């Protein structure tokens, strides 16, 4: 993709990338997916005039995490670059990571004890309210400030999510990324013991185990959030910025810290705003429309509904987004792309390897191949099936930001 840099050219065109997180799905109710079940007159109208297709987030058969899923649609090959979830969460909540830091994503969870052994009964502690999360983090912070020679930094995320950073008095290596998650990824099993390969990874594993034990003791009387599961042990990588790579002044409009973190890592400007609804995000988009030439707008709740197996809620969120589409189109973006970072089928209650529908709307599409923005209709589209990291060149081309290659 290095050829792109020699082809980039400036223009006044604006690109809007809307990510409906986990939008891809499988038939569950009446042989339909949530996209197929949803009443989406505006998306249907747009689909008829757009180029549709499906993207493969990472590679055939590989189920992506949110990090690789977004890296791909941002134009970075996720098989060559893998960013730990802890780093993304930490950046998303505003922690400025140093080369001495190990960042970890935490989930408050519910466990019950059998013969003194914790058994996970809810990996997300019932998605406790964010205010409850803040109370717990303040309490833990006042009791856990240092373990061995590592300073412990805690920061609330949203609902059950939080970030813990172990800050050492020396630089740490990427070998810490060999440490496994303590989340067993299912209920009715005990948390896993953190283990990694290498001297520093073994030390961080030991500190993480001590941290988990301290949290369990401090929270033992909490009705829901009485344990912490740790995920994504990671250090901050060096990445070429979005502007360096594509020549775009880009911003991020998102409500969840992790997606802000990923956008921050590639150099997008994080737009802070009040509220958490789709309406709040659209109003923010309107306010910022003159200030950037690339906009990443992230909608989370489609993914959350899929992970909960809530087909009706996922359908409802899609319909809610559809109602705001006329306001988005009124901004007259040069290129509008609607897609997801991965599929989250309700039947699986988890991310999956399935390809993800893509819609590109611009004056320069064939169009007329698909009737709706759905998985099956996307198969009929002119874009075909392609790797996600090929999306950005398509958006640049549609926006008139690429010169001709060769004589």
The pLDDT tens digits for 166-214 are: 999 999 888 899 999 999 988 999 999 999 999 999 999 999 999 999 9
Token representation of residue 34:
């949530």
Residues 296 and 242 sit within 8 Å (Cβ to Cβ): no
> How many Å apart are CA 62 and CA 355, to the nearest integer?
10
Q: Contact at 8 Å (CB) between 60 and 54? A: no
Q: Identify the CA nearest to 5 among candidates 83, 81, 75.
A: 75
Q: Identify the pLDDT of residue 82.
A: 74
Three-state secondary structure call for residue 23: strand
Residue 65 pLDDT > 90: no
Residue 1 binned pLDDT confidence (cut-offs 50, 70, 90): low
- Over residues 124-178, the pLDDT tens digits come to 988 999 999 999 999 999 999 999 999 999 999 888 999 999 999 999 888 899 9
CA dihedral 76, 332, 323, 286 (to 10 degrees): 80
Q: What is the pTM for the complete model shown? A: 0.77
Per-residue pLDDT at 359 exceeds 60: yes
- Residue-wise pLDDT tens digits, 230-239: 999 999 887 8
pLDDT of residue 261: 83
Give the span between the Cα atoms of 5 and 308, in whole angstroms: 42
| Segment 315-341, tens digit of pLDDT | 999 999 999 999 999 999 999 999 999
Whether the pLDDT of residue 122 is over 70: the answer is yes
* Confidence band of 35 (pLDDT split at 50, 70, 90): very high
Q: Is the pLDDT of residue 347 over 90?
A: yes
Q: What are the start-end ranges of the H helices in 289-342?
A: 301-307, 311-329
Ordered structural domains, the chain, with CATH? 3-82+239-398 (3.40.720.10), 89-234 (no CATH)
Query: Which pLDDT score, from 0 to 100, does residue 190 have?
Result: 94
In the Cβ-directed half-sphere of 254, how many Cα atoms lie within 13 Å?
28
What is the signed CA dihedral for 206, 211, 216, 218, rounded to 10 degrees? 150
For the chain, helix (H) and strand (E) counts, in that order, are 14, 14
> In this predicted structure, what is the pLDDT of residue 407?
79
- State percent of the chain over pLDDT 90: 85
What DSSP character marks residue 11?
Answer: -
pLDDT digits (tens, 9 = 90+) for 245-285: 999 999 999 998 878 888 988 989 999 999 999 999 999 99
Place of tokens 């977004």: 70
pLDDT in the model for residue 205: 95
What is residue 103's three-state secondary structure? strand
The pLDDT tens digits of the residues spanning 82-113 come to 788 898 888 878 788 888 999 999 999 999 99
């Amino acid at each position: 993709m290095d050829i792109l840099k020699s082809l980039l050219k400036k223009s006044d065109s604006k690109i809007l990338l809307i990510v409906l997180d986990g939008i891809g799905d499988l038939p569950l109710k009446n042989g339909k997916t949530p996209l197929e079940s949803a009443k989406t007159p505006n998306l249907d109208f747009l689909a008829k005039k757009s180029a549709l297709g499906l993207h493969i987030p990472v590679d055939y058969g590989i189920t992506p995490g949110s990090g690789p899923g977004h890296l791909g649609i941002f134009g970075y090959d996720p098989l060559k670059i893998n960013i730990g979830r802890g780093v993304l969460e930490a950046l998303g909540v505003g922690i400025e990571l140093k080369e001495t830091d190990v960042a970890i994503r935490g989930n408050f969870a519910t466990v019950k004890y059998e013969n003194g052994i914790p058994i996970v009964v809810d990996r997300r502690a019932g998605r406790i309210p964010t205010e409850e999360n803040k109370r717990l983090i303040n309490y833990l912070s006042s009791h856990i400030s240092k373990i061995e020679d590592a300073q412990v930094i805690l920061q609330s995320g949203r609902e059950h999510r939080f970030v813990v950073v172990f800050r050492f008095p020396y630089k740490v290596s990427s070998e810490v990324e060999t440490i496994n998650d303590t989340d067993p990824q299912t209920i009715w099993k005990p948390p896993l013991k953190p283990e990694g390969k290498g001297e520093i990874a073994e030390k961080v594993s030991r500190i993480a185990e001590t941290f988990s034990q301290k949290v369990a003791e401090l929270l033992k009387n909490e009705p829901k959030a009485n344990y912490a599961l740790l995920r994504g042990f990671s250090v901050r990588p060096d990445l070429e910025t979005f502007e360096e790579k594509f020549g775009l002044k880009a911003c991020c409009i998102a409500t969840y810290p992790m997606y802000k973190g990923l956008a921050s890592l590639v150099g997008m400007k994080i737009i802070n705003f009040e509220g958490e609804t789709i309406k709040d995000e659209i109003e923010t988009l309107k306010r910022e429309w003159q200030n950037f030439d690339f906009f990443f707008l992230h909608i989370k709740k489609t993914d959350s509904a899929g992970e909960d197996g809530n087909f009706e809620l996922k359908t409802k969120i899609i319909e809610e987004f559809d109602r705001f589409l006329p306001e988005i189109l009124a901004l007259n973006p040069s290129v509008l792309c609607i897609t997801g970072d991965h599929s989250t089928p309700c039947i699986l209650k988890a991310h999956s390897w399935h390809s993800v529908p893509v819609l590109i709307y611009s004056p320069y599409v064939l169009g007329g191949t698909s009737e709706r923005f759905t998985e099956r209709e996307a198969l009929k589209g002119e874009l075909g099936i392609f790797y996600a990291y090929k999306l950005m060149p398509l958006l640049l081309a549609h926006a008139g930001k690429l010169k001709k290659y060769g004589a």
